[in-house]
Structure 1
């Protein structure tokens, strides 16, 4: 009788046995990832999330996350206040012209004609009134321009609004206070609304050229 060999006595120890830890390992079929390796997305399927952002992060219009695409309520309120200030300037210009007309009428009074003191005061008063009218007109135009820039202006417009409001606050405190109390309150609110975080984000947003 022919003696059994070691391979015949232990057939599972052969190199073809998949359970043999010492045998030759079977190759995995292509297309299936091995254990411990991340699976790749199929070709033609875009990755999850917005383009250029990590998975799950949304893509915002303009490329800046969190940037408001519509004008915030505070900026809208500031724009309305600028138009209101412009309207008050129109009223102020009308009052100044009425004061000029009054001075010219007084000059025609027979009792005041030839009065050197009155003539000096009338000239000084007319000069001051003309200066105030010019200042009011400049402030009127600036109010309208900056109100328009609230909708389409950049950070430069925001800085311009704050400088404009700061100068207006100084003039409202002196020499026009308390007649300028309404202006003072409106200008303070304009600075507050424009300086807020949503206002800053609005003026620094990316705009279509």
Structure 2
């Protein structure tokens, strides 16, 4: 028996041939970004586009409320002065300052909240799942903040609820979990 004899049990073993006890694997076709060409861009689904629009609407409502609050500071002073409660001039001045301070705090919170929403809106197109999560949490806080911003707060609450609904949809979640290169 020679070394190359196929009948020699001690000779060189040949790998099993496809179809002889082993299922043949389908041929592997390269595709995607790892195969030398870029992956096709995934279009943002309609739910994600709507969610981004709702973020911008809530930002605009926050800015409108901040401007409205700052313009109403004079009305607070006028209301305290005309109350006729029998307070002394220093007491009415203190009450007026406290009222204006509260209005100013709400206005500044609205501006800060709008700035946080701006970060979310700008990261929406390129961001990952964390942007979506932040948008849902931000929308939840917008609902609570809308309670303190009446009458503008009614629109804030409605659009924040819509933002949460559209950000929580499955197609939006899948889009935020897409692979990015």
Please report the TM-score for the alignment, with normalisation by the length of structure 1.
Answer: 0.62
More helix by share: 2
The alpha-carbon deviation at position 118 of structure 1 amounts to: 2.0
> 1:132 aligned to 2:136?
no
Superposed CA offset, 1:24-62 (max 9, x none): xxxxxxxxxxxx769x9xxxxx93x643xxxxxxx5668
Aligned partner of 2:97 in structure 1 is 123
Aligned partner of 1:96 in structure 2 is 69
Aligned partner of 1:78 in structure 2 is 51
* 1:29-178 to 2 correspondences below 5 Å: 47=27, 50-51=29-30, 59=31, 69-103=42-76, 115-172=89-146, 174-176=147-149
Alpha-carbon distance change, 175 to 71 in structure 1, aligned in 2, over 3 angstroms: same
Are 1:100 and 1:129, in contact at CA under 8 Å, matched by a contact in 2? Answer: yes
- Higher relative CO (Cα under 8 Å, sequence separation at least 6) belongs to 2
Counterpart CA distance in 2 for 1:122 and 1:84 is: 32
Aligned partner of 1:31 in structure 2 is none
Unaligned runs of 5+ in 1: 1-35, 41-45, 52-58
The alpha-carbon deviation at position 72 of structure 1 amounts to: 0.8
Are 1:68 and 1:202, in contact at CA under 8 Å, matched by a contact in 2? Answer: no
Alpha-carbon distance change, 127 to 142 in structure 1, aligned in 2, over 3 angstroms: same
Between Structure 1 and Structure 2, whose CA radius of gyration is higher? Answer: 1
The aligned length equals 155
RMSD between aligned residues: 3.5
